[in-house]
């Protein structure tokens, strides 16, 4: 059996970074969201959010659509199929990890 520390090292760092995990979690709960909503939800600056979204887009986890509504530019972000699978797997891994930590703690207490 792997220890929780080994399992933690196996987590995808691209997804596990807190801001990106928050972005992907929000996206998994909707069909699409706009840039302003993500900014207000995460509290990231415009530049920071843009950087995180670019990384996620490069990894093909999100799709970004830019268009105009009148004169106002609107940026809409979608989760790709690959992104959906990745975030679902990641959450499963985290749940599993939490269970493993509890089990590991009990084993440690028992061996003391």
Partner 1 sequence: METMHRIRFITENYEALQGLRIVPIWTGLLFVSLLRLAFPDGGIIRSFLILFSLVFAIIMTVWVDGYYKRYFGTVKRHGSKVSIWLNWIVVVFFAAMFVDVFLQLPISILALIAALFMAYLWHVSRGLLPHYPILAILFGLIAIMPIFLPTETRYDAMQLLVGIIFVFTGILDHRMLESSLHPHKDDDDDDTI
Residues facing residue 34 across a β-bridge: 76
Tell me how far apart the 2 most distant CA atoms of the chain are, in Å: 68
Q: Is 43 in the site for partner 1 (CB under 8 A)?
A: yes
Bin 73: left if φ > 0, else alpha if -120 < ψ < 50, else beta: beta
Q: Shortest distance, CB of residue 5 to partner 1, whole angstroms? A: 19
Q: Is 56 in the site for partner 1 (CB under 8 A)?
A: no
Choosing from 10, 70, 72, 112, the residue that interacts with partner 1 (CB under 8 A) is: 72
Q: Which residues bind partner 1 (CB under 8 A)?
A: 21-22, 25-43, 46, 49-50, 53-54, 64, 66, 72-76
């Amino acid at each position: 059996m792997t220890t929780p520390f080994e399992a933690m090292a196996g987590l995808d760092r691209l997804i596990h970074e807190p801001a990106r995990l928050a972005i992907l979690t929000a996206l998994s709960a909707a069909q699409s969201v706009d840039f302003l909503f993500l900014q207000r939800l995460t509290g990231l600056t415009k530049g920071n959010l843009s950087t995180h979204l670019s990384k996620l887009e490069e990894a093909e986890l999100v799709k970004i659509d830019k268009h105009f509504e009148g004169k106002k530019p609107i940026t809409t972000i979608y989760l790709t199929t690959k992104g959906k699978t990745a975030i679902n797997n990641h959450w499963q891994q985290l749940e599993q990890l939490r269970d493993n930590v509890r089990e590991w703690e009990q084993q440690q207490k028992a061996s003391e």
